[in-house]
Amino acid sequence: MHKSKYFMSAAAALVMLAGPACAEDLVFQLKNGTKSVLTHFYSSPVGVEKWEDDVFGDQVLNPGETIEITIADGRRVCEYDMRFEFTEDSDLDTTTDTQNLCELGEYTIDE
């Protein structure tokens, strides 16, 4: 009986330790407030030297549209650099910004 109590206590401690180690997905609404089609959206944690994969994949975000973005990269960071690219015929240049995605509920890219 003593061994089973010890085992249960050890198992409970492991579960409690494992809980905080799990990273949460970062979810927010991205709205295109421009008059141009947003073709690519990249995000990387602040301090990472290279942009990670295009979040949109084959999708685009048309003017006025909103899409739910989920960043599930397994990291436990909040500060992310973001890069937005528009169609070649757009008057808009590539835009970058840095945001705390843990606190961000919605982000609007404007001209």
- CA atoms of 7 and 80, how far apart (whole Å): 41
> Domain coordinates of the chain in residue numbers?
23-109
The model's pLDDT over 13-70, given as tens digits with 9 standing for 90+, comes to 434 444 344 467 899 999 999 999 999 999 999 999 999 999 999 999 999 999 999 9
- CA atoms of 94 and 111, how far apart (whole Å): 11
The average pLDDT across 77-91 equals 94
This prediction has a pTM of 0.75
Classified by CATH at the fold level, domain 23-109 comes out as Immunoglobulin-like (2.60.40)
- CA atoms of 14 and 17, how far apart (whole Å): 5
Residue 67 pLDDT: 96
Write the single-letter amino acid at 70.
T
Q: How is the beta sheet containing 66-71 ordered, strand by strand? A: 66-71, 26-32, 106-109
- CA atoms of 109 and 23, how far apart (whole Å): 27
